[in-house]
């Protein structure tokens, strides 16, 4: 049987915190095809943003509701999943609304 001392508990807490913060970054972007909302989109294209992250390309919502993860509605009716305001909806008539 293992005895937990203050030092062991602090070490376990440090490891748990490190894992928690490192894993949380993995949830920053949900890849296309992995959410139920993906079927609600007109396309399943992606692009690589300036940070090197894969982002869903602008797409139309088939249900008319804002898709999960969308950050803006473009003037042409598509929804953007951009992570930066600069350039968002640039080929879609500009931003109609920020979500």
3-state SS, residue 97: strand
How far is it, in rounded angstroms, from Cα 74 to Cα 51?
Answer: 22
pLDDT tens, N- to C-terminus, the chain (99 residues): 556 565 565 665 655 555 555 433 333 445 554 454 788 999 999 999 999 999 999 999 999 899 999 999 999 999 999 999 999 999 999 999 999
Find all residues with CB under 8 Å of 41, minimum gap 6, and list them. 32, 56, 59, 60, 61, 62, 67
Confidence (pTM): 0.63
How far is it, in rounded angstroms, from Cα 31 to Cα 48?
Answer: 12
25: left (phi > 0), else alpha (psi -120 to 50), else beta?
Answer: alpha
């Amino acid at each position: 049987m293992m005895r937990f001392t203050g030092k062991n508990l602090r070490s376990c807490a440090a490891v748990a915190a490190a894992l928690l913060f490192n894993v949380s970054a993995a949830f920053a972007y949900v890849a296309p095809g992995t959410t139920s909302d993906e079927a609600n989109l007109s396309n399943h294209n992606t692009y690589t943003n300036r940070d090197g992250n894969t982002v869903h390309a602008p797409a139309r919502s088939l249900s008319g509701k804002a898709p999960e993860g969308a950050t803006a509605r473009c003037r042409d009716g598509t929804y953007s999943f951009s992570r930066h305001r600069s350039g968002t909806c640039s080929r879609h008539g500009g931003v109609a609304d920020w979500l």
